[in-house]
Structure 1
């Protein structure tokens, strides 16, 4: 039985175990929309400035740098905008570099912890591309939600960073019929205008209602859905029967309110059984119409209204930081549509692999069945996860892939941050040394625990890691994985 609300949880083959715990009840309110310069600025502050990087989240440093969240930030006119160079600069030439021998010596103890079960992993220096440590790194293992690293990487490479998902309403053959042409947006906001759901910047249903009322003169009698953009099942291969609907997943359908949740502001609320139908009923009710079935929109039909999702660079925060399974599968299907593949689980998986291969990544051993990581059929070697993150973290900015993949880093959860999957981790014991210095994507299924991300070592070197533990109990394995990464933070590894 699953207890993880937004994560990845169901039995993996021949293993059992506990699940990733829910995010703390004291989690901050829904996130405000973030703009691209903000992401770039955060990356510069967090990853460029040597040893003080992640400390920028601390009040004393925030005050000193006059960051927006500083408790004692002076009042006054804001400074003129600064031009931001999206490069990650390596430490100065005098800073000693970590070595494979140093990393091997440092990780020998924590990587051998019994709580890790069978461990595979990879550590890479993104400044040089040097593999600093590897343990069965080429072995394909169940990745759980670290699958989302590949899903997001492919979307960033295939789509424009400003890509938005459209939902249109057109007039049917009968002027009294409105047909919703679904485009794949699961984030439409059911709350009144001006109020954020758990998807900041999402389109509001009320906006669409207003447009349709004005365009139709208020004469809509029936609402139908054109769901033809998606193909195949809404339940993924390798999912457990209890996965959808649940508190962490819903059937993947091309239009819905609030990710199919029963509450627009509660990330962990139960999902509805038929999200698209729920959208149609709510929309029809606001129009004073009835909800009909499905229909294909006529060619060249009059457009009565259109709303769009937040841009891609904002959607990925829900996928990476909050491990939104539905959004992960929705992004995989956007990649499929952009590359001419069917918008299905199979099409999304194929498109993800094709895009990454086209961009030069070696995907030997990778098998994907979904974009969220809920499927126990997925297989990814730790080396592949690390190599994708290493390109995102490369410092010189000359590789065109790096600029496109950079948002991967900004939306990984921060150890000990105010929101996301690492809120309750890195709080005590050896792993506490990584608090504030680690950004990572988590992954949890029964008997499977994974972690992939970046850590800044004490000498100011950014290191990339991917760790995968099989046959392990969740609580113990998570602490043990965190201890491995915390050792990278403190060792210098020379």
Structure 2
């Protein structure tokens, strides 16, 4: 269900960010280092609310607070944007309207598009369709059974706990086939043709599949192309064939022997004999963001393309995501996407676009987009931020910062939300044009921690109110 076009101030904000017409804060300087950060590690808390009574942050004070951390030579010359979530005031900006390589922070755009173009309660369906042998009946041994993928990378061969429940399981589908009276199958064929075009994108490194970063894109894959449920290591280069083999094994386990395995498009005359369903789109989006799941990102991008009448290809998905952002009132000038996972080094998008997407999720009126916020990893606790923010100089941000990470050989990035020491909700995007390594991530985390511990009120604001580790403000308004 597409969201209605955004109105009034938020559209004006996003447009002004990209047009550069908002007043901006002075650029941070190396001579203004942030004071040392100390304090106990926080407990994870609910996303704080938009408190209009919290002291507004002063742009000059915020710029001074972040200046030393942003000037760390290990970050190169990072692009940065910090915005007040409630008012939209730009507090810090450095090349925020210039398209840059986002890496996996582009998943914020993919998530926003998926929740804009698709019903969040929709599920992805994997079907089994059967054609009896010539001259035989529906229960005559033999015949051909197709496993038809619907784009669900969470489909699993596991028979125990796996993934986000309720996971779609080949074992359940195999039992459904058996229960229709089919006692033996001549051939199982994997059909991943709901997605088309190249299976890898321009700008992808040759080793992404063998290194285990992503599976070649297909509408049919099992356990995200892994060799076994929960396994690590390389992904299969032929996910549809691997899925067909796994389904044949599942059929054998329930007493339905299979002769051969192949891949191909299902015969239109075949009848459905079973189906299983993924978790909802909302759950898939949340999982994609928390775990930075590339397979889910590419599949969700293609689902957006299909919903918008575009080809289920890399190009169609990229066009669909940018179109859905524009439908949500988020300007995309200068954006060029080659994929929807962020793995391509050829992707370019303005930091202001991603921050505007976050603000769309924060502001009232778009409850479906709250999943974008709940899916962001929590510093020090979940997902790709679970092992970060434990050091003394970053611990003030633990449990306070929620952000999407990104890393490629040309960029290390972080974009998300944070509540400062005065209880003011801020949005930020940080994009360092350097390859990720441990020191790079720590340097970005110090910027986020400086922002989290900033007591930087404007002169006209109420007195500063100290934040309490583990405390939380009321949830963001819905409606």
Same fold (TM over 0.5): yes
Tell me the CA shift for residue 102 of structure 1. Answer: 2.1
Aligned-pair CA distance for 1:173: 6.2
Does 2:248 correspond to 1:279? no
Residue among 340, 350, 374 paired with 2:319: 350
| Alpha carbons 1:248, 1:325 under 8 Å: kept | yes
What is the match of residue 194 of structure 2?
A: 229
Q: 2:228 aligns with which of 248, 259, 263?
A: 263
Aligned match of 1:433: 396
Rg (Cα) greater in structure? 2
The answer as to whether partners of 1:280 and 1:291 remain within 8 angstroms in 2 is no
Conserved 8 A contact 2:240-2:263: no
Cα distance in 1 between the residues matched to 2:164 and 2:50: 35
- 1:293 Cα offset (Å): 2.9
Q: Counterpart of 1:167?
A: 126
Match of 1:487? 450
- In structure 2, which of residues 357, 367, 371 is the aligned counterpart of residue 407 of structure 1? 371
CA RMSD of aligned residues (A): 2.0
2:210–2:233 CA contact under 8 A, matched in 1? no
Q: Give the Cα separation in 1 of the matches to 2:319 and 2:175.
A: 39
Partners of 1:226 and 1:303 in 2: CA distance? 14
Q: Tell me what 2:175 maps to.
A: 210
After superposition, where does 1:434-453 map in structure 2 within 5 Å? 434-453=397-416
Of residues 289, 305, 312 in structure 2, which corresponds to 1:320? 289
List, as ranges, runs of 4+ consecutive aligned residues in structure 1 with deviation greater than 4 Å.
none
Equivalent residues of 2:190, 2:243 under 8 A apart? no
User: Of residues 342, 346, 350 in structure 2, which corresponds to 1:381?
Assistant: 350
1:372 aligned counterpart, secondary structure: coil
- Which residue of the other structure, out of 470, 480, 491, is the alignment partner of 2:433? 470
Deviation per residue, 1:157-180 (Å, 9 max, x gap): 111111111111112263511122
Specify the alignment match of 1:72 in structure 2.
none
| SS of residue matched to 2:221 | strand
Return the alpha-carbon distance in structure 2 between the equivalents of residues 473 and 331 of structure 1.
26
Whether the 8 Å contact between 1:166 and 1:183 is mirrored in structure 2 is yes
Matched with 2:146 is 179
Deviations 1:265-293 (A, max 9, x none): 24x33322212101101212333113443
Aligned residue among 64, 68, 85 for 1:105? 64
How far, CA to CA, are the matches of 1:486 and 1:239 in structure 2?
32
Is 1:199–1:258's contact at 8 Å kept on the other side of the alignment? Answer: no
Could you report, residue by residue, the CA deviation over 1:227-278 in whole angstroms, capped at 9, with x for unpaired residues? 3211111112110111113222111111121111123124x33322212101
Q: Which runs of 5+ in 2 are unaligned?
A: 1-40, 252-256, 458-479
TM-superposed deviation, 1:301: 3.4
Report if the CA contact (8 A) 2:126-2:277 is conserved: yes
Cα gap change, 1:248 to 1:199, in 2 (>3 Å): farther
Alpha-carbon deviations, 1:119-177, whole Å to 9, x = none?
10111111112211111101111111111111111001111111111111112263511
| Deviation at residue 359 of structure 1 after TM alignment | 1.6
Structure 1 unaligned blocks of 5 or more: 1-53, 63-86
| Per-residue deviation, 1:56 | 5.7
Give the Cα–Cα distance (whole angstroms) in 1 for the partners of residues 288 and 319 of structure 2.
19
TM-score normalised by length of structure 2:
0.80
Q: Which moved more, 1:459-468 or 1:219-228?
A: 219-228
Asked if the contact 2:286–2:371 (Cα under 8 Å) also holds between the matched residues in 1, the reply is no
Secondary structure of the 1:310 match is: strand
The yes-or-no answer on 1:241 pairing with 2:206 is yes
Aligned to 2:78: 119
Residues 103 and 133, structure 1, Cα contact 8 Å, conserved in 2: yes
Does residue 106 of structure 2 align to residue 143 of structure 1? no
Distance, in Å, in 1 between the alignment partners of 2:267 and 2:235 is 31
What is the CA-CA distance between 1:455 and the residue it aligns to? 0.7
Cα offsets for 1:75-111 (capped at 9, x unmatched): xxxxxxxxxxxx9742253x31112222122112211
Q: Does structure 1 conserve the Cα–Cα contact (< 8 Å) formed by 2:84 and 2:427?
A: yes
* Residues in 1 aligned to 2:227 and 2:107: alpha-carbon distance in whole angstroms: 24
